[in-house]
Amino acid sequence: RRQFIQLFPDRAPLLLFPPNECGVQKFISTTISPTLTPFPDLYNLEPCASFVADYLEYFALDNPLKLPQIIPSSQTVLELRAGDAFDFSILLVSLLRGAEYEAYCVS
């Protein structure tokens, strides 16, 4: 993180270890958990993306220029049936990786 700040002083800080819904800091890559569902329809890209878009309610961040305060687990997002863009992308990537897609969250 220090090296990134030195090399790119004008860029926003990296989101490396935000707290989860329990207040525990987790390395962001461990938040993405390959998840294979028992629903074969979700093994393909388009139905999977449609499921995430249609099943969840989208809540915009209070300030879209700032990073979110917490990054909940995909299980919590599914239980709440709601999330922001970060939550949607992490859930979608988790589902796609479970279906053996090479999927990543990038900014």
Residue 11 has a pLDDT of: 86
Give the model confidence (pLDDT) of 76-98 as tens digits. 999 999 999 999 999 999 999 99
Residue 77's nearest CA partner among 44, 62, 55 is 55
pLDDT at residue number 30: 85
- Phi, psi torsion values for 25, nearest 5 degrees: -75, 130
Q: What is the pLDDT of residues 12-70, one digit of tens each?
A: 877 888 999 999 999 888 889 999 999 999 999 999 999 999 999 999 999 988 889 89
Q: What local confidence, expressed as pLDDT, does residue 17 receive?
A: 87
Q: Per this entry, what is the length of the chain?
A: 107
